[in-house]
Structure formats: C-alpha cells, structure tokens
Structure 1
Amino acid sequence: MKTFTLPGTDIPAPNVVLGLMRIADKGDDEIRALVRTARDVGIDFVDHADIYGRTTHECERRFAEAMRLTPAERDAVTIQTKVGIVREGPYFDHSHEHIVSSVEGSLRALDTDRVDILLLHRPDALVEPEEVARAFDELATAGKVRAFGVSNHTPRQIDLLRRYVDRPLVVNQLQLSLTHAPIIAQGLASNMVGEPQATTIDGGGVLDHARLHDITVQAWSPFQAGFFDGVFLGSPEYVELNAVIDRLAEKYGVPSIAIATAWITRHPARMQVVLGTTTPERVIGAARGSDLPLTRPEWYELTRAAGHRVP
C-alpha cells in the first residue's frame, strides 16, 4: 500500500481509503471483518459522515459499537468525518453552531475524543466563512479535530474559505472515476471550440488548484459510471473500456477493480481512492491497485476507452 504524509498535517495516509457509508445494516462481525480486512492490506484510514445511515450519526455509531477500539487501536486508525448536510431539509448548514454541535455528536457516536480530519460535506450557498473559521478554531484549540478540509467544493469556494480560515484546508473530496472524470478530462480538451469536454464546470481547474495549494483530492465513487448510475466494471454499456481493463488486469495479474483504482492512484496529484464497498474481497482487489505501475500509454488508453477526448 502506497502511503504519504497528508500535506499540511503529520497524518500518515494510504492512497486507498475505506468509506463506511453503507454499514448501517451490517452486523458487528461483518463490520469487523470489513475493517480488519482493510487494515490487513494497509488501509488504516476510514471515512464517515454525520449523514450516513438511516438516522444522523448511525454509521459512525455502528462503527464504534462493532469495533470497540482500545486507546492503542484508536491511535492506529485515522478517522475522517463530514458535516454540513441537514437531513431534515435536506439543506446545508455551515454555521458555527451546526458545525460544532455536529462534531460533538460525531465524537459521541464514534466513542472517541477527537476526529482526525473534518470535511465540509457540500457547499453551503449561505456560508459565512467567518463562522466556519470560528468553528474550526474552537474545535482545533479544544483538541477535538486535528485537520480540516472540504468535499465537493470548487476552487473559488475554497479560496473564499481560505481568506478567513487560518488553518490549512488539506482535503477536497470529489467524485472521480474512469468514466466520471471532468476534473481531469476538461484539461485534456482545453481551448477546443465546440468540444463539450472543454467546458469549465468546476470554477477553473479544481485538480490543478488542489495541487497548487497542497490539497489532497479524495476520489469518491471511484467505480461508478456517473452520479450513482451503477458501476462501469463489467457493464455492457462500457464494452471497449472493460476490454482494455481486462487485458491490463491479465497483464499485471490483478482483478479488474485494481486497474480502475490504479488509473486514479497513477496520477501524480497523489490522490486517495475512497472505497464504498462492504465486500472484503473487493477491498483486497482494489488495494492491489494502490501502487500498480501503469505506464503513460496505458493510462491514456484507459482514458480514451472510457470515452474521453484525447486530442
């Protein structure tokens, strides 16, 4: 498992993360098997959100109930959670009061005294960045949050926060897969008149912005065809792409999910892949793509086969 120190922190991070949004209905043994399998292959970084589950904080609570981490075990796991989506609306709330109260709820649910990384889950159009700054300062000073970031934010939204928030924003979690890759594909077709792929939809190069500001991009739904449209692996709608994936999987002696993982981890931005599966075997397979040395021609072949324009 390839690891690095998350820029702006002292947190060691694998480039594959275990997302736990689907564990609400899982039994304790299933949750323990999933987490322990991940840890056995080097994934000691878990991703939560207050909104995950049928009720607020449910998946966080199920994780704590199943794992019952000792202090030493807690120290060995990086726990990330997110705040900002209000289930009852739904709407978004980045007020000082909501951020702080939600983190307190996460700490109780997770049965821990601190969250390693806290992300603002989705942009709040009514955000007052001074409120965010005050909440982050309060939580950091109290030792309840070690590092901060965002999710699904544009470069300009991040810059607005950074004008007021003194603490580094070290993560931006964004949807990214071989077939859903505007943050990469639009740059390939830049300045091409009439080419839809060239359209700037993220406020001006979110991936380049992240690299310029030492923000780690975390890729969620790394195997989804689109916005929760089902996986592309093995899909009859992506015959050409799966033919390339299967050929490369045979060449490297790995499952196809490892090739889909490697397309993201091969990128020099040092992104993290957030797995959403609850199947231990798929975690093992994806982890094998962590440091798979795809060549430049192979990476571009996959990109073309996924339907992206490479001029």
Structure 2
Amino acid sequence: MRTMKLGSSSLEVPVLAVGCMRINGLEKAEAERFVQTSLEHGANFFDHADIYGGGKCEEIFADAIHMNDDVREKIILQSKCGIRSGTFDFSKEHILDSVDAILKRLRTDYLDILLLHRPDALVEPHEVAEAFDKLESSGKVRHFGVSNQNPMQIQLLKKAVKQPLVANQLQLSITNANMISNGINVNMTVDSSINRDGSILDYCRLNDITIQPWSPFQYGFFEGVFLGSEKFPELNKVIDEVAAKYEVSNTTIAIAWLLRHPAQMQPVTGTMNIERILDCIKASEVHLTREEWYAIYRAAGNILP
C-alpha cells in the first residue's frame, strides 16, 4: 500500500488506517483472519480507543494478532483516551491511567500515537503537557494528536504542549463534507457556507497535521451508509459509473475520493469484512481526476456557487 508521513513526524504510515471499533463483533478465528489479511496487504496501521467495546476491542486485537515483540515491530498502533461515562477527562491522572490500561490490553510497551478523543471543556493545558512529557520520557507514547478538535482548541493545547500534534481525527465523508464545502461557498448565503469548524481543514494543512477522516461511508451522525442507500440515488449512480471505469467497487471509490484531496488525509475504516477492507486498500492505487472528484461531490447534493 502507498505510504505517507504522519503530520510533521518522520513516521511513515499507510494512507489508510484500519479502525478496530467493531472487532469485538468477530469470532476469534474471524478476527485473526481479518487482521492477518490486513497485514498481508500493507495495512499495518491499527486505530483503537479505550472506550471501544469497553476496552475489549484492544484485548481482542492483541489476541487476534498474537502480539509479541516481533509482531509489534511490524505494526503501528494508535489509540485514544479522554471519554468517560458521562464526562470527558483530559486530566493528567486520567491520561496517564488510561495509557497504562491501553498498553496492558494491547500487550505492548508503547503506542506509536495517542490521540485525545473528544474536547474536554474543563481541560487544563498544563496538565495535558505534563502527561505528554511523562509518557514521552518513559517511552510509553512516541507521537501525540487529537480528535474532533477545532483550530483554537488545538492552539490552546499547543500553548503548553511541546510535542507536535501530528493528527486530528474528524468526521468526514462525501456526504458529510462541510469542512470542504464551507471553503468552496465562501461568503454565500447558503447553509454549506457556514463555517462550523473554524476552518479546520486549512488549519491542519497549514500546520502539518494529518486529518484522519472517521466514518468515511456514513451520512449524518451514524444514520447509515450512503453506498447503496435509496436516499442518495444520484450519488450512487455517479460512484458506480466511476467504479466501473476503474474496475473497482463503490467502496474503493468512496475512499479514493478522500485520498484525492491534496490535504493527504488518512481515512480510518470501520469495516470488519475482509472483502470490504481489501476494497478500501485498493483505493490507494486509484487517482481520481479533478472532474470525477467534483462530479461525485455534486452528486451528493453539495453545491458549487
């Protein structure tokens, strides 16, 4: 699979991250086959979070990949922390305790990347900085980032945190593309011109922060998958036409649409289906034309001024 640099780091990563949020829905043998198939095709970047399956997803993954020192050298592990039941928590104590628990479940000594999961309204940047410093100096975390944060929230952290923030995981798909649309419909009196995220797309590009789109096949907030949906007939028609041209699946084209953007994003898959993960991986070989990219964009109901 094609690779890229993660943010401003020297870490070379696949252009696709394998999301493991649903791995607890697989039987042991299925999980082993899924993980092994991903590895065989160069998809060795695995995304986790301490809340996925209440922590069980990380344990299941470690079992499925038969974690040991040799295996660990061949993979890139990312996990997230900061969400607790009924609250968000970026306190120093919670971050440190969370990482220790994550490492224990994944049966490893370190994470390649730790992301802060969702913004904590009560965040104290100096506590985050102290936690990051301790995690870095102890070797438990090598790189740091955020998830679902806007530019000013990142700037607030950067006021205290000395480590580069190399990634920002954000909801983005063909049908959930406001971070792109508001930059196209500047100064227009239409809904898509509303800047809901503080120009996070441009901010991340300017500051060498890799955007990791989550739910790349979803519309709304987990309302469903747009591929094959009766709600998006024109979009599926255009995607299917482009897929036929490249002799790939509609899944491949949906990911290729994200990869075509010059921000050099790293989509996070969510599928546990082997056929679909292979279709996602194929997207790294497809380079849509400008005309194809815009045709898909418009077919989803996005407008051009």
TM-score where L is the length of structure 1: 0.96
Write the letter of the residue equivalent to 1:176.
L
- Superimposed CA distance per residue, residues 37-61 of structure 1 (whole angstroms, 9 cap, x where no aligned partner): 11222111000000000x2x21111
Work out whether 1:233 is the aligned partner of 2:227. Answer: yes
Report the CA distance between 1:291 and its aligned residue: 3.1
Work out whether 1:70 is the aligned partner of 2:68. Answer: yes
Report the CA distance between 1:68 and its aligned residue: 1.7
Q: Provide the C-alpha distance between the structure 1 equivalents of 2:47 and 2:114, rounded to a whole number of angstroms.
A: 10
Q: Provide the C-alpha distance between the structure 1 equivalents of 2:222 and 2:10, rounded to a whole number of angstroms.
A: 33
Work out whether 1:4 is the aligned partner of 2:4. Answer: yes
Number of matched pairs: 305
Q: Provide the C-alpha distance between the structure 2 equivalents of 1:227 and 1:38, rounded to a whole number of angstroms.
A: 27
Residue 298 of structure 1 is matched in structure 2 by 292
8 Å CA contact 2:35–2:64 kept in 1: the answer is no
Residue 125 of structure 2 is matched in structure 1 by 129
- Superimposed CA distance per residue, residues 247-271 of structure 1 (whole angstroms, 9 cap, x where no aligned partner): 0000000001011001100001100
Report the CA distance between 1:8 and its aligned residue: 2.7
Q: Provide the C-alpha distance between the structure 2 equivalents of 1:295 and 1:266, rounded to a whole number of angstroms.
A: 8
Residue 51 of structure 1 is matched in structure 2 by 51
Work out whether 1:200 is the aligned partner of 2:195. Answer: yes
Query: Structure 1: which 4+ aligned runs deviate by more than 3 Å?
Result: none
Q: Provide the C-alpha distance between the structure 2 equivalents of 1:76 and 1:31, rounded to a whole number of angstroms.
A: 18
8 Å CA contact 1:218–1:271 kept in 2: the answer is yes
8 Å CA contact 1:265–1:291 kept in 2: the answer is no
Q: Provide the C-alpha distance between the structure 2 equivalents of 1:27 and 1:144, rounded to a whole number of angstroms.
A: 30
Bigger drift between 21-30 and 153-162 goes to: 21-30
Residue 101 of structure 2 is matched in structure 1 by 105
Superposition CA RMSD, Å: 0.9
Q: Provide the C-alpha distance between the structure 1 equivalents of 2:276 and 2:292, rounded to a whole number of angstroms.
A: 23
Residue 40 of structure 2 is matched in structure 1 by 40
Report the CA distance between 1:24 and its aligned residue: 1.6
Structure 1 residues 166-181: aligned runs within 5 Å = 166-181=162-177
Q: In structure 2, the residue corresponding to 1:309 is in which secondary structure? A: coil
Write the letter of the residue equivalent to 1:259.
I
Q: Which runs of 5+ in 2 are unaligned?
A: none
Q: Provide the C-alpha distance between the structure 2 equivalents of 1:27 and 1:279, rounded to a whole number of angstroms.
A: 12
Report the CA distance between 1:286 and its aligned residue: 1.2
Report the CA distance between 1:15 and its aligned residue: 0.9
Q: Provide the C-alpha distance between the structure 1 equivalents of 2:303 and 2:121, rounded to a whole number of angstroms.
A: 33
8 Å CA contact 2:243–2:253 kept in 1: the answer is yes
Write the letter of the residue equivalent to 1:96.
K
Residue 15 of structure 1 is matched in structure 2 by 15
Q: Which runs of 5+ in 1 are unaligned?
A: none
Report the CA distance between 1:208 and its aligned residue: 0.5
Report the CA distance between 1:104 and its aligned residue: 0.2
Write the letter of the residue equivalent to 2:176.
H
Residue 136 of structure 2 is matched in structure 1 by 140
Aligned mate of 2:236, from 229, 239, 242 = 242
Report the CA distance between 1:221 and its aligned residue: 0.2
Q: Provide the C-alpha distance between the structure 2 equivalents of 1:215 and 1:121, rounded to a whole number of angstroms.
A: 16
8 Å CA contact 2:36–2:65 kept in 1: the answer is no
Report the CA distance between 1:133 and its aligned residue: 0.4
8 Å CA contact 2:7–2:208 kept in 1: the answer is yes
Q: Provide the C-alpha distance between the structure 1 equivalents of 2:244 and 2:126, rounded to a whole number of angstroms.
A: 53
Q: Provide the C-alpha distance between the structure 2 equivalents of 1:17 and 1:310, rounded to a whole number of angstroms.
A: 30
Q: In structure 2, the residue corresponding to 1:294 is in which secondary structure? A: coil
Report the CA distance between 1:35 and its aligned residue: 1.1
Q: Provide the C-alpha distance between the structure 1 equivalents of 2:13 and 2:191, rounded to a whole number of angstroms.
A: 35
Report the CA distance between 1:9 and its aligned residue: 2.2
Q: Provide the C-alpha distance between the structure 2 equivalents of 1:45 and 1:2, rounded to a whole number of angstroms.
A: 12
Write the letter of the residue equivalent to 1:67.
I
Q: Provide the C-alpha distance between the structure 1 equivalents of 2:244 and 2:41, rounded to a whole number of angstroms.
A: 21
Q: In structure 2, the residue corresponding to 1:283 is in which secondary structure? A: helix
